[in-house]
Amino acid sequence: MSVSKGVALITGSAQGIGHSIALRLASDGFDIALNDMPTKGTELESLASKIESLGRAVCIVPANVSVDEQVKEMIDGAVAKLGGLDVMVSNAGVIGEVTSLVSSTVESWDHTFSVNARGSYLCYKYAAMQMIQQGRGGRIIGASSVAGKMGLFGFSSYTASKFAIRGLTQVAALELGKYGITVNSYAPSGIQTAMCKAQENFDFAPDRSIAKDVTDQLENAKPAPDPDLIKWLTSVYGNVPLKQVGQPEDIASIVSYLASKEAHFITGQCISVDGGVFMS
């Protein structure tokens, strides 16, 4: 086994983006702590085997990221098993209900914020406490979204929660820089994952648009997608420069860079990885 670059903990790593991030950081030379809900044990065990085959140490620290004590125990467990914490990737998140603001429910709003916003807050907080105690700096990386940079029609709770992560990231960067800890986030658009199903490529012809792809993703949503949502998606995504859906590996690559020594002078940023949906 080669010398470790440190320990990275990735939440929501049983599938999708988190799965790819864990594999990429393991390939980069990090030992890996895997997190997801306790019900995802089979998926986490399978991923752990892949990481071991890459010659890296790995542990599983299941937790619900919205629960204070569970996040603390998750961090403590990773440190106890792997010897420290150098990279915290707060990746876990939910989309929540897709409906108009006036039709939305308080219950869905609270659930979306509990996972996306409070979950990131708890991960940032306890990771920062551990990194400060260690005294060797670190990297904290969160999952924002294109919805954290522009409002998405029909996604009020999701959009608000992803804007919250941008704000949290900036404040944490201000406070933690003196400890050598950088804090950044990534902002994907639609990514081909189990949670966000899409076709291999977007086709913007009238009979097959990105709106069709997103409708397919939301076919089981209750209530059914608002026709105005389809119109909005067509207008926004119809002119995306890179006419293809993103892959989990596209997000893993930016996380790999942000976790590296080369990214030591980048902090407080929310980096778009979206094919050009949002340009700043």
Q: List the catalytic residues.
A: 158, 162
- Angle formed by the axes of helices 68-82 and 119-134, to 10°? 40
DSSP 246: B
* Strand duo 58-60 + 31-34: pairing: parallel
Three-state SS string across 86-121, please? CEEEECCCCCCCCECHHHCCHHHHHHHHHHHHHHHH
| Residue 59 parent element (H or E) | strand 58-60
> What is the C-alpha to C-alpha distance for residues 256 and 277, in angstroms, rounded to an integer?
22
Closest CA to 47 of 9, 8, 20: 20
